[in-house]
Structure 1
Amino acid sequence: MDSFIYASSPSRVIFGRGSITTLGEELKRLGKEKPLFVTTPRGTQTIPELEQILTTASLASAGVFGEATLHTPVEITAKALEYLHAVAPDCIVSFGGGSAVGLGKALSVRTGLPHVSVPTTYSGSEMTGSLGETRDGRKTTRSEAGIRPAVVIYDVDLTLSLPVATSATSGVNAIAHAVEALYAPDKNPIIEIIALEGIKALAAALPAIISSPADIEARSKALYGAWLCATCAGSTRMGLHHKLCHTLGGSFGLPHAETHTIVLPHSIAYNAPSVPDAMGKLTGVLPGSDGDAIRGLNLLLKKLKVKTGLKDFGMKEDDVPKAAEIAMTSPYANPREIELKSLTETIRRCWAGEEARVDL
């Protein structure tokens, strides 16, 4: 067996139906009593329920900032910081998907305030010490220990209202974290076990959610799988897939989870010849693979009835060469050398919505 280093995640995780009711207790455990809620405009509708939970625990919120948005633009963070200084909270509670979690991280790392995350999608940002921020049309990523939330509360009930389409794409986004962990330069056998279990859980649960959105067992399995996959993202370095998604989202304004969903089979196809061992293990947890992981991923996307072309979200074909050039700058660690010609063709296939295939 190869040598490896494994550092466990320091986050405290509360998982289960109704676990949101522990919010007040968790804040008290941290010695805090006056949180700032950070969420999206849609998420503000649920904040009164969270504030009632605080009231029951004899706590109260400092306020609500409800303008979190995709890709964590620095101008939104600046606006949120101004509000934070005005209301003077002693901690931050993010509620929602990756946009809310990202803003919560951005505020926490800038202020040193502890961050409690309440995710309502499967995308997984809450378990990582990384923060992607957008400035002047470019998305950059920073990683440090202080970015990771101190506590994560996974309440299955909060995912029941998650639209089917969003459930599908955020679930595939989670799978992407685990897939890249299988061949990351700092991979280890513990994370490999977690990654394969997470992928297996999501690959089984997501099609069931498409058929029956209120299926509690499927929702529970999906959230469990998302947590495991997010743990992988928080424990290893990501590669070409995440570089492409950060480029496409930050520079072209494409939606986060949908972009991950479209890019995943193509980025894996690009790397497949260089990681046969990882591809072999991946086939074992993707139903219908028949020995071909790319076939399994393509089949999963068909079951989930998701859009498979970036053109469906407004990207122009003329943007493909520019996207490739941006993705070539400051490349992430990757098992296969990144070549401009092959990368450009990979992005073109993502744009066109073609089925992924290993021939580059």
Structure 2
Amino acid sequence: MSLVFDHVTLGQRVLFGSGRAAENLAAEVDRLGASRVMVIASQSEHSVAREVAAGIDVTVFHDDVAPHVPVTKADKARAAATENAIDLLVCIGGGSTTGLAKAVALTTGLPIVAVPTTYAGSEATNVWGLTEAAHKTTGVDDAVLPATVVYDAQLTLSLPVELSVASGLNAMAHCIDSMWAPRTDPINKALASEGIRALADGLPAIKADPHDVTGREQAQYGAYLSAVAFASAGSGLHHQICHVLGGAYDLPHAQTHATVLPYVLAFNAPAAPDAERRIAAAFGTGTASAGLNDLRVVLDAPRALKDCGLDEAAIPEAVERILPFVPDSNPRPVTSHDLETLLLAAHSGETPAGT
């Protein structure tokens, strides 16, 4: 059978180097010819943002950041950009910070330079998300893809081990979901496989020694690959489930992804033999689920949606919210009963299949 596929590679500049964030950011601001820069960083990242932006002239620092990008927060940031005649957005932080910069870029067309401090991966995708009235809306628009990403593993040293694990497993979810997402192809499957390998090497190193920059570099590298694969392949079943849960019930983003992932993998892998082989090979284990579950044990990963704040009584409603968004391309049909069974297992934290 001949190999036929249609692949789109997004254009983006990536600068990777530990201890070089301030230097690389200043060089990018100069290269882009920006003169009025808005730095978006949460209050908790304020000192890091000041340090990274020390070499550039900042017109305004904006710190009103919240998870899942509420529309009210997006409108406030857009107004700040307009009022200050901003010509470049710089976001320094995790996925929520990058998401807010994307929300501004979506309506203003302003370019973004992203400086990630977690392994969220949003910086390498053209996917945006906004939340209003407990409903999260996502979309795809090349206008929100950051022009440049500045990676510096030293900026992740302050990320606690527990958050590093959750964020890294969120990146792992990008890899695994890319194996059966609507636009999956051999190129993003290859990127996702290498992303799994890098994350499976890097995250245990962070767990063993939180000050190990080498492990954090591998995790950042894997997170970038995971996001590139995800941007090409699109949102699979896992991400549709987590987007609904996060937006509707205000659950923590990374922890929710880390918790749900093994249950989606156990559900889909038996019906996706090629993905099963690729994922297992990347982990170096006999089965995909065994590789992921073994890694989760080593990392002491988040285990149950009840710990993320999901009320078991909300699960039937969640099922009805998720069902319309299940991709037609999923390897196996998904019924409301399937979703309820999956969410109940994830809620209680029972051991996923394939251990």
Which range, TM-score by smaller chain?
A: over 0.9
Shift of 1:328: 0.8
| 2:272 pairs with one of 247, 270, 275 | 275
Query: How far apart in 2 are the matches of 1:344 and 1:249?
Result: 17
Match of 1:32 in 2: 34
SS at match of 1:152: strand
Match of 1:329 in 2: 324
1:174 partnered with 2:174: no
In the alignment, residue 11 of structure 1 is paired with which amino acid?
Answer: Q
TM-score w.r.t. structure 2 length?
0.96
Query: How far apart in 2 are the matches of 1:301 and 1:123?
Result: 18
Match of 1:6 in 2: 7
1:146 partnered with 2:130: no
8 Å contact kept, 1:92–1:104: yes
Shift of 1:280: 1.4
Match of 1:74 in 2: 71
Query: How far apart in 1 are the matches of 2:272 and 2:147?
Result: 34
5+ unaligned residues in a row in structure 1: which ranges?
Answer: 55-59
Shift of 1:302: 1.1
Q: Percent identity?
A: 39
8 Å contact kept, 2:312–2:347: yes
Q: How many residues align?
A: 352
Query: How far apart in 2 are the matches of 1:238 and 1:349?
Result: 22
Query: How far apart in 1 are the matches of 2:46 and 2:85?
Result: 19
Name which of structure 1's ranges 183-192 and 14-23 shifts more when overlaid on structure 2: 183-192
TM-score w.r.t. structure 1 length?
0.95
8 Å contact kept, 1:39–1:96: yes
Shift of 1:117: 0.5
Shift of 1:206: 0.4
> Per-residue CA shift, 1:291-324, capped at 9, x if unaligned?
2211221111111112210101221110111111
1:84-233 alignment, distance < 5 Å: 84-233=81-230
Match of 2:313 in 1: 318
Match of 2:351 in 1: 355
1:309 partnered with 2:298: no
8 Å contact kept, 1:241–1:264: yes
In the alignment, residue 53 of structure 1 is paired with which amino acid?
Answer: G
Query: How far apart in 2 are the matches of 1:134 and 1:329?
Result: 18
5+ unaligned residues in a row in structure 2: which ranges?
Answer: none
Shift of 1:86: 2.2
In the alignment, residue 300 of structure 2 is paired with which amino acid?
Answer: K
Shift of 1:78: 1.0
Query: How far apart in 2 are the matches of 1:72 and 1:40?
Result: 12
8 Å contact kept, 1:198–1:226: yes
Query: How far apart in 2 are the matches of 1:7 and 1:329?
Result: 26
Query: How far apart in 2 are the matches of 1:90 and 1:329?
Result: 39
1:337-352 alignment, distance < 5 Å: 337-352=333-348
In the alignment, residue 135 of structure 1 is paired with which amino acid?
Answer: E
